[in-house]
Amino acid sequence: MTQRERYLSIGIGGLFVLFALNWGFNQYRSAVSYRQGRLNSLASAADDLQVQWLAGTQAERQLGEYKARSLSSDPEVAKSSYQAWLLSMVGKLNIGDAVVDPISIAPFDELYTQFGFRVSGKTDLKGVVDLVYAIQSRDQLHRIRQISFAPVRKSLSQVAGQRQESTDALSVVLMIDAIGLNIAEAQPAPPSEEPSWRITRSLEASRESILNRNFFQPPNQAPQFEGDTQMVAFRGKDNDLPLKFSDPENNRVNVSVEGELPEWVRWDAESAKLVVSPPADPENTDDSEGDAPKSIEEFEVQIVATDDGYPHRQTTQSLMVKTQAPPPPPEAPAAAPGFDDATQTFLTALVQGGDDWTAWMNVRTRGKTLKLKVGDEFEIGSIQGKVTGVTARRVTLEINGQSYELRPSGKLSDLLEGS
């Protein structure tokens, strides 16, 4: 075999080795991938089984709870016992003209039997709330499918020999569904008298949320007082003290006064204000009659504000009214000072006529010029004085006993400002 044939044989053998290694690696990778896929599939199946087990456990627990809350598996026992409970309940709640009728029995796929009951009667709104709460709080497999109530037509009843009109009665009808499971006991234990844990509100809270509001607005709020709790009335005068209340729902507010007022205090209901007229001399008042307050210095009054919302809300506000002497009349304001001509008077010229000199004082506010010589007296605005000397450079003036010099273009009022 030649050298060339030997190299060729080695190359061909190497290729076969490489092909064999590649095939073996692919086989290994396929096996690993298949194994991982199986592991994932088994893990998913295990998760599904776990979920099914948990669901089955939950369903078993739920079914056990339903079984404990179920009516009897015997339809006749279930119907009679539940009807008897409804009758006893409406009796405790004093539902007038109460009627409890079973209206339907329907089996469903051998799983349970559904019973229908109709409860009707007459009561007030509080009775309706108590009736619904009593049913909802009983821990059984039942529900109120439908409820309707309406005011009873006004009727006249004979009470203690007098005819009295009834206005707050309601006619109420409830349609109730109850269920008895086929796997339940034939003679189950009666449910607890305690409210079911599913009820999150107490009976009082339920009454408050319904009775304390109408069905179309939030709960009505009480009126609010707007003003001072302490007021002042002057003696010897008629003092009007208005009392203002506002209502959050803008309902009409009726304001009244409680208790006895002093004889010099009057309540004006139409304008909702106190008219206080304390005597001018508190020493001469006669408070001996009745139980009227004896002090004229101050008195307390209770104001009651009631709105017309549903239900009516009321606010009681205590006010203290103090009496005192009226303030002295205000002094007449001093007259505002007028414009001072001296502030607009200037020395415009010094004029010689023979041996005499004349000072020309221009009063701009009046549009005239005063020609003053030695010995002349003048009154310009707030300044009164006398000319004591005139030269070519200045004029000498005597004002308020003092001597001042004013040069040309000088302002007369500047003489006093600089002193």
Q: Tell me what pLDDT residue 179 has.
A: 93
Using DSSP's 3-state secondary structure scheme, residue 202 falls into: coil
For 239, the token pair is 């003092």
Using CA atoms, how far apart are residues 98 and 120, in angstroms rounded to an integer?
6
Q: Is the dihedral of CA 211, 213, 219, 225 positive or negative?
A: negative
| Cis, bond preceding 311 (omega within 30 deg of 0) | yes
Using DSSP's 3-state secondary structure scheme, residue 145 falls into: strand
Question: Contact at 8 Å (CB) between 186 and 72?
Answer: yes
User: Does the predicted model carry a pTM greater than 0.85?
Assistant: no
**Three-state DSSP string of 327-359:** CCCCCCCCCCCCCCHHHHEEEEEEEEECCEEEE
Dihedrals φ, ψ of 3, to 5°?
-60, -40
Q: Tell me what pLDDT residue 335 has.
A: 57
Dihedral (C-alpha) 6, 9, 13, 15: value to the nearest 10 degrees?
A: 110
Closest CA to 177 of 106, 92, 121, 74: 106
Dihedrals φ, ψ of 313, to 5°?
-115, 145
Query: Which residues are 150's β-sheet partners?
Result: 171
Q: Tell me what pLDDT residue 176 has.
A: 95
Closest CA to 267 of 279, 275, 278: 275
Per-residue confidence in pLDDT tens, the chain, 419 aa: 687 777 788 888 888 888 888 888 888 888 888 888 888 888 888 888 888 888 888 877 888 888 888 999 999 999 999 999 999 999 999 999 999 999 999 999 889 999 999 999 999 888 999 999 999 999 999 999 999 988 886 544 433 333 333 445 889 999 999 999 998 888 888 888 888 888 888 888 888 777 766 665 677 889 999 888 888 888 888 898 888 899 988 888 999 998 888 888 999 888 888 899 988 876 655 544 444 444 567 889 999 999 987 678 899 999 898 988 888 887 766 655 667 888 888 888 888 887 788 888 888 888 888 888 888 898 888 888 898 988 888 888 888 888 888 888 888 888 887 65
Does the structural domain 75-211 have CATH classification 3.30.70.60?
A: yes
What class has domain 341-417?
A: mainly beta
Using CA atoms, how far apart are residues 3 and 369, in angstroms rounded to an integer?
149
Pick the CATH number of 224-324 from 3.40.190.10, 3.30.230.70, 2.60.40.60, 3.40.30.10: 2.60.40.60
For 350, the token pair is 């010094």
Using CA atoms, how far apart are residues 374 and 389, in angstroms rounded to an integer?
5
Q: Tell me what pLDDT residue 91 has.
A: 93
For 199, the token pair is 């009820």
Q: Tell me what pLDDT residue 334 has.
A: 63
Measured CA to CA in angstroms, residue 223 lies from 9, 219, 246, 318 at distances of: 113, 13, 6, 14
Using CA atoms, how far apart are residues 172 and 121, in angstroms rounded to an integer?
6
Cβ-Cβ contacts under 8 Å for 124 (sequence gap 6 or more)? 168, 169, 170
Q: What is the pLDDT of residues 90-148, one digit of tens each?
A: 999 999 999 999 999 999 988 999 999 999 999 988 899 999 999 999 999 999 999 99
Q: How far apart, in Å, do the first and last CA atoms of the chain sit?
A: 146
Q: Tell me what pLDDT residue 304 has.
A: 93
Pairing of strands 112-123, 170-181: antiparallel
Number of Cβ within a 10 Å radius of residue 80: 13
Pairing of strands 314-324, 230-234: parallel
Closest CA to 211 of 329, 292, 130: 130
Using CA atoms, how far apart are residues 223 and 236, in angstroms rounded to an integer?
34
Q: Is 317 exposed, middle or buried (0-12, 13-18, 19+ CB in 10 A)?
A: middle
Residue identified by tokens 């078993």 is: 60
Using CA atoms, how far apart are residues 137 and 72, in angstroms rounded to an integer?
19
C-alpha gyration radius of the chain:
54
Question: Contact at 8 Å (CB) between 253 and 226?
Answer: no
